[in-house]
Amino acid sequence: MRWFVRPSCPPDAPALAGAAARPQPRWRRLVATTVALALGATSLPAPPPAVAQESGASGNSQVIIRDAEIEQLLRDYVTPIFGAAGIRKGSIQIVLIQNRAFNAFVVDGKRIFINTGALMDAKTPGEVIGVLAHETGHIAGGHLARLRDQMATAQIMAIVGMLLGAGAMVGAASSRGAIGNTGVGASGVFLGSQEMAMRSLLAYARSEEQAADRMAITYLNATGQSPKGLLETFKRFNQEAMFKTSSIDPYLVSHPMPQERIANLEDLAKKSPNYDKPDAPALQARHDLMRAKLFGFSGNTGEVGRRYPLSDRSLAARYARAIAAYRQKKLADAMSQIDDLLREQPNNAWFWELKGQALLEFGRPQEALGPLRKAVALAPSAGLVRILLGQALVATGNAGYTTEAIRELSNATAREPDWPDGWRQLSLAYGQKGDIGMAQYAAAQSYFTAGDYRMAATQATRAMEKLPKGSPGYLKAEDIVNYRPRTPSSGVPRDPT
């Protein structure tokens, strides 16, 4: 598992010729552009969604989690839903945000953002699948594009005052999740027609939330899955919101009031022939392992101990404790516990990955090669695991591994072209080989995928000076030099609550 932070400063330049590859921390801290959320076509930006902010981090920082095991499970969850919605497989990316709040949202038609808190709190796969189905409803229904159209109309009616109020509304909606208390304190900005315009806009937003709820039920029915998990999620929100919604004007919120929403959803859900259908045991087992992994990596020692006491001998509990031991730098203890997991599931790629990662980060890259090669063999499509193997090969400093490292990292960057760490490690591998032109090209790609276009162009220019003119690397470097970033498209975060 790796953290991916979106700060305002660039990463260190990837090392080039002759540089020794050093093990990188398991929780990656790299760079990318901030997700900009703007209101319609105006120049007034709405605040970034609070659910995407790292607690205690700078205002422009976001923490994105990358983990092959969790991402594969979420793809398995959502693929049938996408099929029912008519969305092409692989066209939408699910992005994990490090935040303990139970929330998810969309800002465009390409990505669904989901908080790690939603995965950690959801006790069954159905709860997460229901949330993903709701967000799919927003994308398939074209709600984001239509909402921008609605805002454009409202701008004509209310102009500046409405926009200021909308900024406050979106900020409140983003920070409160879906518990129905959005918009508190924002109504004082509106006067006359401006308030009427905003009420009209919010009424439209509420109707789309209800539409997404109905579409989620439709997708779940079409795929033979129970909508009970979705209903349980909204009931949880209702319990949290009971003391917060009593004094709120229901016409000044962007989501339906919780009790009304649950009543409508419950009526639809209980009509489903699959309502009492349980989640498949194998899927529940994978879900339990995912939750254990997240608690193991993001929970403190006390929390892991409380949730997974030594008396709990389940596979998930042992997984969480093994990760906790690794995080506490108790390598011998962690290795013993991971080996215990592997004795029970010798073909679990993610257990092998964990063992290899731990060995690598404790400065034992040669020993990490066996477990990581096994993990790649068991999960050949997992680009993130191949990056880890490539990193270990480079970290040994053994020139005999350079060709294998370049092969693995080239494969990985083809599968994960937008993940900077793969390009960073490939730059190191080419540097060890003495191929400076390709090392600088890979460094340029690392900066480019991280959003640092200035440094990307600098490295690409240097690469072009060394690569044969017209070669694939030269042409790709030239593309980077000629790239001109576009202004981010606007959008408004939508969440399941």
- pLDDT digit of tens for each residue in the chain (497 aa)? 765 544 333 333 333 433 333 333 333 322 222 222 222 222 222 222 222 223 333 344 468 889 999 999 999 999 999 999 999 988 898 989 998 988 888 877 788 989 999 999 999 999 999 999 999 998 888 766 655 555 455 444 443 344 344 444 333 333 333 323 333 344 444 445 455 555 455 454 556 777 888 899 999 999 999 999 999 888 876 665 444 444 444 433 444 555 667 777 888 899 999 999 999 999 999 999 999 999 999 988 899 999 999 999 999 999 999 999 999 999 999 999 999 999 999 999 999 999 999 999 999 999 999 999 999 999 999 999 999 999 999 999 999 999 999 999 999 999 999 999 999 999 999 999 999 999 999 999 999 998 899 999 999 999 999 999 999 999 999 999 999 876 544 444 444 44
What type of residue sits at position 349? A
Asked if residue 292 lies in contact with residue 316, where contact means CB atoms within 8 angstroms, the answer is yes
Q: Quote the CA–CA distance of 10 and 22 in Å, as a whole number.
A: 19
Could you state, in order of their start, the residue ranges of all structural domains in the chain? 1-22+377-486, 34-122+125-269
**pLDDT at residue 495, as a whole number:** 47
Helices 349-361 & 68-85, crossing angle to 10 degrees?
140
Burial class from Cβ neighbours inside 10 Å (0-12, 13-18, 19+) for residue 255 reads buried
Asked if residue 92 lies in contact with residue 143, where contact means CB atoms within 8 angstroms, the answer is no
For 319-348, the DSSP string reads HHHHHHHHHTT-HHHHHHHHHHHHHH-TT-
Asked if residue 161 lies in contact with residue 191, where contact means CB atoms within 8 angstroms, the answer is yes
The CATH class that applies to domain 34-122+125-269 reads alpha beta
**pLDDT at residue 49, as a whole number:** 26
3 state DSSP class of 224: coil
From first CA to last CA, the distance across the chain in angstroms is 27
What type of residue sits at position 265? L
Rg of the chain over CA atoms, in angstroms?
A: 24
**pLDDT at residue 238, as a whole number:** 63
Asked if residue 131 lies in contact with residue 497, where contact means CB atoms within 8 angstroms, the answer is no
Cβ neighbours for 427, distance < 8 A, ≥ 6 positions apart: 14, 15, 16, 439, 440, 442, 443, 446
**pLDDT at residue 173, as a whole number:** 35
Burial class from Cβ neighbours inside 10 Å (0-12, 13-18, 19+) for residue 12 reads exposed
- Can you name the residues that pair with 105 across neighbouring β-strands? 113
